[in-house]
Amino acid sequence: MNTKRNKYFLLFFMVVAFFPIIQEIFQPFKLVGLSGAFENHQAPDFSTQNFLDGKYQTGADEYLKENTAFRADMIRLRNQANYSFFGNINTILTLGKEHYIFDPSYISALNGNDFLTDSIRDIETNCLIKSLHILDSLHIPLIFCIAPNKASFYNEFLPQKTVEGNKTNQKYFEKLLTENHVNVLNFDSWFKSIKQQSKYLLMPKYGAHWTIYGASLAGDSLFKMVEKVKQKKYASFSVSSYDESSKAKYTDDDYLPALNLIARWNSPMMAYPQLKFNTGEKPNILAVSDSYFWSFYELEIMQNCASPKSAMWYYNKSVFDYMREKKSERNNAISYQDLKNRDAIIILAAAPSLKNFGYNFFDQLSSISSK
């Protein structure tokens, strides 16, 4: 009896051991890789020198670990077991109450753990003031937007009670901007003030940014602010209808793939606005922003309400045009050509981005080049 059981065990072991090899050779199954950002190692080139000094063996070991058949499936199985039995998720993200997911950097920004030192704040303050003098001389208005902080918006769903810090970058820079007569749109405080009255979710349960519905409200306010500061009527948009869906779209659940679970979590009801665009003159906008700005492209607000000469500088590092096509990488200088004929400059930043106030835009602008 024991012999028979041993044979079955040996057979099972051989199947498990050789199954990845069979998959590598014959590929009978279509496998799905992992989601998220990973450093992918390339297969090493064999040479006598690489073999003798051990570099080939090390490279082959790293490559095979990442490219063994069924590796992704085994990781998803482990992650699912870790969540189902222990309530843990295997990412840097923070799992809150009722499955709400948070980026820990937003929690740090909320309680002020990333508050800048006095010396850095003094440098940023001086650069801002110099930049405002330059923009005033060019008659270019600045609009500074503070994106919603999900940890603040859904404070009640954080895993632990978190109190907003007395000293935060958001409080400091909003006060600084207001004192220097900069046009400020604080979407963080606005979203919290209309949270209970909003028919649809303003911030997603499983996403990093505002919902597409929330972005439509923010986009409307932002472009109306451009009209206000320019005292001109520009091309605009209105909402013709809302498509309700129990399946999240766009970036409304962009945290979920990174969990790499087997069972996908159900999304709450979401709303997706259908926009109607009105023709008119379009402002030449330069936007310097983090990833919150991409929602305006998803809604095609930039494509229909901004001039073709407009641009978005993603984290002040990569240049995208009004159609979201990447044009180039940014250098570390700003010239008058970059600002020429701009109708407005928009800075959009979420709370964690404020520790790099303006993404070095003000530092560069205060040392502007005429080239």
**Tally of CB atoms within 10 A around 211:** 26
Residue 285 has pLDDT above 70, yes or no: yes
Percent of the chain clearing pLDDT 70 (strictly above): 80
- Reading the block at residue 369, the tokens are 């080049």
Task: Enumerate residues 6+ apart whose C-beta is below 8 A from 358.
Answer: 124, 127, 128, 288, 316, 347, 349
Q: Amino acid identity of 61?
A: D
Who has greater pLDDT, 54 or 82? 82
What does the pLDDT read at residue 18? 60
DSSP state of 359: G
Who has greater pLDDT, 294 or 62? 294
Residue 3 domain-assigned (yes or no): no
Pair (119, 159) in one structural domain: yes
Helix locations, 27-87, DSSP H = 48-52, 55-67, 71-86
Distances (CA, A) of 93 to 2, 96, 104, 128, 292: 48, 10, 6, 33, 18
**Tally of CB atoms within 10 A around 41:** 16
Q: What is the mean pLDDT of residues 58-69?
A: 60
Pair (102, 38) in one structural domain: no
Pair (29, 148) in one structural domain: no
Per-residue pLDDT band for 76 (boundaries 50, 70, 90) equals confident
What does the pLDDT read at residue 306? 97
Residue 10 domain-assigned (yes or no): no
For the CA atoms of 33, 34, 38, 43, what is the dihedral angle to 10 degrees? -30
Pair (293, 175) in one structural domain: yes
Pair (160, 41) in one structural domain: no
Residue 78 domain-assigned (yes or no): no
What does the pLDDT read at residue 110? 96
Task: Enumerate residues 6+ apart whose C-beta is below 8 A from 179.
Answer: none
Residue 29 domain-assigned (yes or no): yes
The total number of structural domains in the chain stands at 2
Pair (136, 258) in one structural domain: yes
Task: Summarize pLDDT for 214-243 with one digit per residue, the tens.
Answer: 999 999 999 999 999 999 999 999 999 999
Residue 344 domain-assigned (yes or no): yes
For the chain, the average pLDDT equals 88
> Going edge to edge, which strands form the sheet with 318-321?
183-186, 142-146, 344-349, 285-289, 311-314, 318-321, 326-329
Task: Summarize pLDDT for 104-155 with one digit per residue, the tens.
Answer: 999 999 999 999 999 999 999 999 999 999 999 999 999 999 999 999 999 9
Residue 2 domain-assigned (yes or no): no
Q: What is the mean pLDDT of residues 298-324?
A: 97
Residue 37 has pLDDT above 90, yes or no: no
Pair (62, 125) in one structural domain: no
Q: Amino acid identity of 45?
A: D
Pair (210, 329) in one structural domain: yes
Residue 83 domain-assigned (yes or no): no
Pair (228, 341) in one structural domain: yes
Who has greater pLDDT, 13 or 207? 207
Task: Summarize pLDDT for 176-225 with one digit per residue, the tens.
Answer: 999 999 999 999 999 999 999 999 999 999 999 999 999 999 999 999 99
What does the pLDDT read at residue 77? 79
What does the pLDDT read at residue 41? 60
Task: Enumerate residues 6+ apart whose C-beta is below 8 A from 345.
Answer: 135, 140, 141, 142, 143, 285, 286, 287, 288, 339
Please give the Cα distance from 151 to 157 (Å, whole number): 8
Pair (62, 157) in one structural domain: no
Pair (204, 122) in one structural domain: yes
Per-residue pLDDT band for 51 (boundaries 50, 70, 90) equals low
What does the pLDDT read at residue 91? 83
Pair (28, 121) in one structural domain: no
Residue 74 domain-assigned (yes or no): no
Residue 8 has pLDDT above 70, yes or no: no
Per-residue pLDDT band for 264 (boundaries 50, 70, 90) equals confident
Please give the Cα distance from 126 to 350 (Å, whole number): 22
Domain that holds residue 108: 98-365
What does the pLDDT read at residue 27? 65
